[in-house]
Structure formats: C-alpha cells, structure tokens
C-alpha cells in the first residue's frame, strides 16, 4: 500500500508537469524548463511554494468543514486505486493479479468511494462563506450526481458482457481476439458504453470542457476560491489523483487492463518467462495504456472550449442517460440472440 501510495503521489506531481509541458507544446510555447533539467524539478518547487504560503481562514467560515473538505476531495482518488489490477503473475489465473485488494464487488466499491469526492467540493464551497464558492460547490454537486447516473448505466453493459463485477474478472473477459485480429477489448465490444463512460468521466473529474465548478470567468475560482497553502494544494492534487485513477479505471474496463490479445501464458512460457518477468511485462503494458489515456485527458483539455452549464446538464440528462439505457437493451438483445 505504501509503495502504491508513493507511486501515485509521484505520478500526481508529474502529471501536473506533463500537463504544463503538453499544453505548451499544443500552444507553441516552451512551458516550465528552468528548474532542473527540462524543468523536471518544477513540481518540487511548486510544492515548496504551497507549503510556505500563509494558510488563511475566512472570518465567517465553518472552520471544521473548511479544514475537512480538501481531505475529502483528495482521499477517494487514492483509495479507489487499491482495486485496480496493474499486472499479473499468471495470465491464466484471475486471482494472480497485482492489486492491493481483490474484492468481488470491485467496480461497485469504486463507484461508491468515487462518489464521495463531491462532498469535498460541496463542503468546500459552502464552508467558505463566499457566494461564488457556494455556486461552484452547487454546480459540482449537480454535475457529478447527474453524470454518475449515465456512468452507472454505461457500466451495466460492461458487467453484462463480463458477467462479473470483479475487476480481475472484467480484465480476463477481454482476453483473446474477435475474428482473429481485433482485440476483445470492451472499447470494440461496447463502443457506445465507452463513449458514454468517457464523457461522463470528464464531467466527473471536472475537466475541460466540463470544468463548470471552477469556471474563472463566472465564479472567480469556484469552490476553492478562499483556499490557500496546502489546502488549495490538496484540492489541486485531488483533481489530478481522480484523473489518474479514472484513467486506470478506463484502461481496466475498456482497454483490457494489463493484457495484450496476442500474448498468453503459454506464449510467455514458450519464451522461458517466469512469474516475475511476466508480472513486469504486464505492468509495462498497463503503464503504456494508462499514460496514453492520461495524455488524451490533457489533449482534450487544451483543445476544446468550455461549454455552457445548461448545455452540460442537457447532455447528461437528455442524451447520455438515454444512450446508456439504449445500450443496455441492445446488449441484452444480442446476449439473448447469441
């Protein structure tokens, strides 16, 4: 648990650096490149700056909730990662996955803990006693609850296909190929569910083009306007921790997790690979897919403009939920036919 926590904190720090460099590349700028070689020490400089800043409490804030909110926003992104299988020592055994915890209701646990994140945003906006922060907290609550419904419906199709809610079993259901050359990943088996889940994930993480809770032109800074020092840092890191975990969930549910369709346990045995080499290979496969999804998150942020809030809510309630429900009916019909 400590090793994964340390790895996640390092990734959270450097995904911020990666976002700044990728955005600079997209906008034909340089980005941070002075602190350390190619700016690699910039996250440490930012952390030191946040630690040394004054920690301010508004006079009429609810001090307990004001203190608690950043931790509630930060923790779920790290807790849910405990159920993500990041590799396997034996590709033929679902119980040999490399994960902190392997519980039978894995995806339900991830949804339950992930939904706690909005409490941190709502508490932070309300406890600040700032009307713009309150608006941001209310927007965050409405947005995350709305898109969780579409996300849940999209997941039902995946669970019907895998016939399990266990994360390792969902990964194993995606092994092999379709027609001999297309990976049996859910992105190909359930493309509509993937589209709905991906859009809902952007809204859940408050990422552009859906970052309504912290829209600077309308709400100054949204739910974290009154925060400073490490409390602001926890909100900031919480957003990126959720991005990292959601990227890992997308890889696990739709891109086959740590598997490659053309590499089986028998193939690796013929190569003379033991459990350790197999585990490192599967972890490397997972990392490549994981980084690709995180890069896509960053790419979208610096490509698409922010939408209006009414457009966002219409998309969630009038489009995505209906599409996800239609996909459940299609999946059930195809399952009965087959």
Cα angle for residues 77, 68, 301 (degrees, 5° grid): 40
Confidence of residue 329 (pLDDT cuts 50, 70, 90): very high
DSSP 61: S
**What tens digit of pLDDT does each residue of 202-231 get?**
998 888 888 887 777 777 777 888 888 888
**What tens digit of pLDDT does each residue of 133-145 get?**
888 888 888 888 8
For residues 338 and 336, what is the distance between their CA atoms, to the nearest angstrom?
A: 6
Return phi, psi of residue 248, to 5°. Answer: -65, -40
For residues 160 and 157, what is the distance between their CA atoms, to the nearest angstrom?
A: 5
Q: Residue 163: helix, strand or coil by DSSP?
A: coil
For residues 191 and 185, what is the distance between their CA atoms, to the nearest angstrom?
A: 10
Mean of the per-residue pLDDT values of the chain:
87
The pTM for the full model equals: 0.91
- Tokens describing residue 312: 């966002």
pLDDT on residue 190: 93
Exposed (0-12), middle (13-18) or buried (19+): which is 179, by Cβ within 10 Å?
Answer: exposed
pLDDT on residue 208: 80
Query: How many other C-beta atoms are found inside a 10 Å radius of the C-beta of residue 184?
Result: 17
Q: Which of 151, 175, 152, 153 is nearest to 162 (CA)?
A: 175
Q: What is the CA radius of gyration of the chain?
A: 21
Among the listed ranges 26-30, 107-111, 160-164, 270-274, which one has the minimum average pLDDT value? Answer: 270-274
- Tokens describing residue 337: 């036919």
pLDDT on residue 265: 66
pLDDT mean over 324-332: 94
CA distance between the termini of the chain: 42
Quick one: what percent of the chain has pLDDT higher than 70? 99
pLDDT on residue 325: 94
- Residue 273 in this model has a pLDDT that exceeds 70: yes
Among the listed ranges 101-110, 116-125, 193-202, 213-222, which one has the minimum average pLDDT value? Answer: 213-222
Beta bridge partners of 183: 177
Sorted by where each begins, the domain ranges of the chain are 1-52, 63-337
To the nearest 10°, report the CA torsion of 166, 111, 254, 154: 110
**In contact, 21 and 31? CB cutoff 8 Å:** yes
Query: 338 or 251, which is more confident?
Result: 251
pLDDT on residue 269: 67
pLDDT mean over 169-193: 88
């Amino acid at each position: 648990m400590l090793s994964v926590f340390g790895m996640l904190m390092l990734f959270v720090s450097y995904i911020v650096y990666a976002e700044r460099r990728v955005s600079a590349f997209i906008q034909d700028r340089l980005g941070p490149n002075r602190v350390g070689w190619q700016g690699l020490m910039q996250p440490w400089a930012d952390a030191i700056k946040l630690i040394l800043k004054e920690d301010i409490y508004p006079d009429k804030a609810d001090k307990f909730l004001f203190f608690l909110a950043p931790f509630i926003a930060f923790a779920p992104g790290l807790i849910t990662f405990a159920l993500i299988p990041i590799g396997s020592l034996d590709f033929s055994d679902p119980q040999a996955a490399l994960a902190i915890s392997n519980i039978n209701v894995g995806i339900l646990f991830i949804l339950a803990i992930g939904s706690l994140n909005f409490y941190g945003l709502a508490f932070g906006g309300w406890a600040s006693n700032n009307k713009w922060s309150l608006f941001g907290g209310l927007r965050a609550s409405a947005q995350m609850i709305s898109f969780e419904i579409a996300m849940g419906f999209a997941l039902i199709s995946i669970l019907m296909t895998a016939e399990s809610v266990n994360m390792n079993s969902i990964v194993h259901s995606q092994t092999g190929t379709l027609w001999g050359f297309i990976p049996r990943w859910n992105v190909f088996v359930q493309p509509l569910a993937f589209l709905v889940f991906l859009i809902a994930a952007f809204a859940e993480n408050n990422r552009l083009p859906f970052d309504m809770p912290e829209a600077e032109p309308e709400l100054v800074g949204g739910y974290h306007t009154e925060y400073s020092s490490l409390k602001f840092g926890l909100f900031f890191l919480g957003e990126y921790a959720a991005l990292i975990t959601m990227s890992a969930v997308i890889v696990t549910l739709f891109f086959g997790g740590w598997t490659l369709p053309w590499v089986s346990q028998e193939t690796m045995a013929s190569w003379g690979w033991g459990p350790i080499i197999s585990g490192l290979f599967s972890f490397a496969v997972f990392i490549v897919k994981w980084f690709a999804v995180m890069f896509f998150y960053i790419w979208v942020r610096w490509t698409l403009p922010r939408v209006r809030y009414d457009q966002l809510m219409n998309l969630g309630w009038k489009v995505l939920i209906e599409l996800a429900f239609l996909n459940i009916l299609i999946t059930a019909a195809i399952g009965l036919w087959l």
